[in-house]
Amino acid sequence: MYDDIGRVGFVGLGAMGSGIARRIMDAGHTVVGWNRTRSKAQDLLDAGMGWADTPREVAEQCDVVFTMLTNTAAVEVAAHGDDGLLAGLAAGKVWADLSTIAPERSVALAEEVAATGACYLDTPVSGSPATLAAGQMSVMVGGERSAYDHVEALLHAIGPKVTYIGPNGHAILTKVAINLSLVVSVTAFAEAVTLVEKAGVDRAAMVDAALKSVIASPVIGYRAPLLVDDDTVYADVELQQKDLVLAQELGRKLGVMLPACSATSEMLSAARSSDLADRDFLVSVADVYRRAAGVEIP
């Protein structure tokens, strides 16, 4: 069903997408890219990446196409229309979407792609640009097993931890659940730091102790230092709250209680009005907690 992989397409070359495309190129693959703003891809172009003028051209020129876009709406725009990916797909091609989008739309896209003769995989990733750079990104996969087998080596070029979950939609459902846990745990960490900071504990000392404790998960490991040295944005409040909204919508549809998710989403709503809303969501949430607690801000 599938021929050997020749050119690999990549649509969506933001901070995460460009890093993933670079890893695929470093693994020896020829990559053809498209991004709404071409200038953001200049480093990749200088490194030898090819360019297509539309998502459709990417799909026409490549055997496998990856997308890494902000949200469901952005993926829909890239997919549809005369210049969209669907117009360029054909039998034997694979579209692997790395984005975190609404599960029901991911399944619907799989059906639309199947009508072209191609195959769609939901392949959301877990991690950050820091995780990616360290070679620790994880990938979850939903869709036809034969398509997964075809692109598995490419996925391992993105990160060493690749897990086949099941049919279309199951990987994106798993990613929503993982991000729910991530955002709740990071928000709880901001709450805990504020509590003891109000009691007089030095913030840097608290962060140092946490990083040496049993709560030092990978996400706390790379995010907690931002409360001491705010120098990186892994995901801002708006982007991170998108994942909680996806979880809440799923919970309503399935009749599943999500009290921790709901409370955390309310906290992120408050953080969107923070003066630091453009920083990493941990920093902006911590800012809201500190102000509400009356903690003196330097």
CA 52 to CA 50: how far, in whole Å?
7
Is 175 a catalytic site residue? Answer: yes
CB 62, CB 9: distance < 8 Å: yes
Report the relative pairing of strands 138-142 and 125-126 from DSSP bridges: antiparallel
| Residues pairing with 10 in the sheet | 33, 66
- Which residues contact residue 241 at a Cβ distance below 8 angstroms, ignoring those fewer than 6 apart? 183, 265, 268, 269, 272, 281
**Residue type for 231, please?**
D
Catalytic residue from among 40, 161, 175, 253 = 175
> If you write DSSP's letter for every residue of 208-231 in order, what string do you get?
HHHHTSTT--HHHHHHGGGGTS--
Instruction: From residue 118, give the alpha-carbon distance in Å to each of 4, 86, 201, 258, 293.
Output: 15, 9, 58, 36, 55
Catalytic residue numbers, as ranges:
175
